[in-house]
Amino acid sequence: MKCIINRRAQFSSSHRYWLPELSAAENSQKFGPCVNAPGHGHNYVLYVSMEGDLDEYGMVLNLSDVKHVIKREVTAQLDFAYLNEVWPEFERSLPTTEYLAKVIWDRLAPHLPLVNIQLFEHPELWSDYSGNAMEAFLTVSTHFSAAHRLASPRLSYEENCEIYGKCARPHGHGHNYHLEVTVKGQIDPRTGMLVDLAALQAAIDEHVVEPFDHTFLNKDIPYFAEVVPTAENIAVHIRDLLQSPIAALGASLHKVKLIESPNNSAEVYAPVPGSQAVNTAAPELAAV
């Protein structure tokens, strides 16, 4: 029987975004404050996912052995290091989150049966890499606060209360929504980036955070005049709003996850090119 196991590790490192073939002005325009010397640091959190058959002892791998491999091949070398100089891979590409995840995969793959590397640069930015050449995933987390009422304009108050319970009360209620946007793309072999991170964050702010923040969704967002703003429907609408702006940046929207409360979240995936978009969502928990 196949089983996936995960091992967490962490390290603290610094890095700098700077390409010697560009002028100081060009580097600054491309990378913003990340060009500042001597660099800046992060507390990285690494999740190593491995797959295998269960042995007679009920294990895929001995986790003590896994821990020592990750320490020997990765964390002992990267902890309290300047990433630009620690490994030869970073002489040709910058140590971005997505490229660092790929390089960690390449260094661990000869020793462990990997299925995914997930690397958090900080709690609002992380990358996933699963061994597919230069393709990686990058996730940006942000938030907005909004109110909504769950009630269909085609139903009576009593009917809405029957379906939505307290959420149908006439003056609505609010949430601090947390939004995770995952994009997919090819890592640029020189910059180490799959997308311009500042431009991605600006697109999310422009098309979602600024229009949605501190609004009553039913009244202030035209889409929800007729569509009930459940977490699922909000996630679908955000997906539809972001697909074109992210494509214009050279990446592809992969997934939108909307966390309405600690007990309730929904996630929707972008349609595969060539297929029809289906407005479906995958709520993790139905509690409000």
Q: What distance separates the 2 farthest-apart alpha carbons in the chain?
A: 67
The pairing of strands 264-269 and 252-261 is antiparallel
Active-site position among 85, 214, 226, 284: 214
Q: Which of 89, 135, 167, 178 is catalytic?
A: 167
Question: CA-to-CA distance for 146 and 218, rounded, in angstroms?
Answer: 10
Count of Cβ atoms closer than 10 Å to residue 30 Cβ: 17
Active site residue 214: yes
* Alpha carbon distance 277, 273 (integer Å): 9
Cβ atoms 237, 226 nearer than 8 A: no
Q: How far apart are CA 268 and CA 258, in angstroms?
A: 9
**Can you read off the two tokens belonging to residue 60?**
């895929």
Hey, is 26 helix, strand or coil? Answer: helix
d(CA 206, CA 10): 33
* Catalytic annotation, residues: 167, 214, 260
